């Protein structure tokens, strides 16, 4: 059959047109219409599947007890805890830092089962509140807790609508409280995911856009990290004026953690802030002080990821943000989780081999 140029162009244009239309309709459907959140009973009993499409494109598969699946099972347990950064609602569950670390360990011959118990909107009271149950049920060799300053003593930690929350009594003592489960076992015991504010669709970013952004801001005079570009740190609950300093409050938090996890080693992954003005990830002085206090515990270790994030960002790969939102803000993306997961695996190996931790060390 002779080559027909006009027919070839016609079918080529049809193919391109239908392909573009397919992706546009998929984008509209996922971005604005398709958010599936299983019931709490599904998450608790296992088998619940959560699909998320407002920030990144996420898929979560729940195992029993709100555990999020990872690629492997079997072997000695390691538990990871934290909020939505650990849960990784915005990614496929096999790309979370828990999954990345588990695959990295397996590739080096360490048969470990990393169990992801991250849940969005939670803070350190939640990690403390479920700690004893996790220890009794899974007997983990190591616990990994991803935190930020607000998770420790911010408004999130004192939110009475959360499953577990802090209160300070009249004597200045920190108390862990829990909200009673609803009699009908409905979903409002744990906060359900809320619909986030929609951002413009059809906005895709690439490495080129990041490099263009870097080119724009490089060479500009910078000073201190611009905290005004960060979401406002929610009013932290400070000790009252009875002479207590903030370290007293922090030490009470640490005592509750120790009571929940006993002598089980804990790795704390401290989430950095990002300054769009200075184009860098950083820890403020309060965060540095907390990490110094945590590091004084003989069984606790801290991981700081600001420097690896900065290196990645300066090389044109942002560890935060997504192609369908903003590449310079929001949750850790697949690149960020890859960085955190690989660093975590290195530190876990050092701990298991009784070697000093030298990766992502917090030196303040």
Tens of pLDDT, residue by residue over 299-330, are 999 999 999 999 999 998 999 988 777 777 88
pLDDT at residue 107 greater than cutoff 90: yes
Q: What is the pLDDT of residues 233-291, one digit of tens each?
A: 334 444 443 334 577 888 899 999 999 999 999 999 999 999 988 889 999 998 999 99
Site of tokens 């193919």: 15
Confidence (pTM): 0.81
**Residue-range domain boundaries for the chain:** 68-181+198-352
Rounded CA-CA distance 247/152 in Å is 12
Burial of 19 (0-12, 13-18, 19+ CB in 10 A): exposed
- Comparing CA positions, the residue from 345, 335, 320, 336 lying closest to residue 267 is 345
- Mapped onto helix, strand or coil, the DSSP state of residue 66 is coil
pLDDT by residue (tens digit) across 20-42?
Answer: 998 888 777 766 655 677 777 87
| The CATH fold of domain 68-181+198-352 | Rossmann fold (3.40.50)
Question: What residues have CB less than 8 Å from 328, skipping those under 6 apart?
Answer: 210, 213, 274, 276, 318, 320, 321
The rounded distance, in Å, linking the Cα atoms of 1 and 9 is 16
């Amino acid at each position: 059959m002779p080559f027909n140029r006009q027919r070839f162009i016609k079918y080529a244009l049809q193919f391109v047109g239908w392909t573009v239309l397919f992706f546009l309709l998929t984008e509209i459907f996922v971005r604005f219409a398709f958010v599936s959140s299983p019931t709490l009973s599904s998450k608790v009993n296992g088998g619940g599947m959560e699909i998320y499409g407002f920030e990144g494109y996420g898929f979560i598969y729940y195992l029993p007890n709100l555990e999020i699946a990872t690629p492997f099972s079997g072997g000695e347990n390691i538990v990871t805890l934290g909020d939505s950064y650990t849960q990784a609602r915005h990614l496929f569950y096999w790309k979370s830092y828990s999954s990345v670390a588990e695959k990295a360990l397996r590739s080096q011959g360490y048969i470990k089962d990393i169990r992801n118990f991250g849940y969005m909107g939670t803070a350190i009271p939640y990690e403390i509140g479920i700690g004893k149950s996790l220890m009794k049920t899974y007997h983990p060799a190591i616990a990994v807790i991803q935190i930020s300053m607000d998770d420790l003593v911010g408004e999130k930690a004192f939110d009475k609508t959360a499953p577990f929350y802090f209160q300070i009594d009249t004597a200045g003592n920190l108390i862990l409280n829990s909200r009673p489960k609803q009699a009908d076992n409905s979903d409002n015991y744990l906060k359900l995911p809320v619909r986030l504010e929609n951002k413009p669709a059809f906005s895709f970013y690439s490495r080129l856009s990041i490099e263009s952004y870097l080119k724009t801001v490089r060479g500009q005079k910078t000073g201190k990290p611009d905290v005004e570009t960060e979401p406002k740190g929610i009013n932290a609950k400070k000790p009252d004026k009875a002479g207590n300093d903030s370290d007293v409050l922090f030490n009470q938090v640490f005592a509750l953690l120790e009571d929940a996890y006993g002598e089980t080693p804990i790795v704390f992954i401290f989430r950095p802030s990002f300054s769009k003005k200075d184009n860098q990830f950083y820890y403020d002085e309060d965060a540095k002080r907390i990490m110094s206090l945590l590091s004084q515990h003989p069984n606790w270790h801290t991981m700081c990821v600001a420097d690896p994030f900065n290196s990645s960002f300066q090389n044109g790969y942002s560890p935060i943000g997504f192609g369908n939102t903003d590449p310079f803000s929001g949750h850790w993306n697949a690149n960020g989780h890859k960085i955190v997961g690989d660093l975590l695996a290195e530190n876990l190996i050092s701990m298991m081999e009784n070697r000093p931790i030298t990766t992502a060390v917090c030196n303040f």
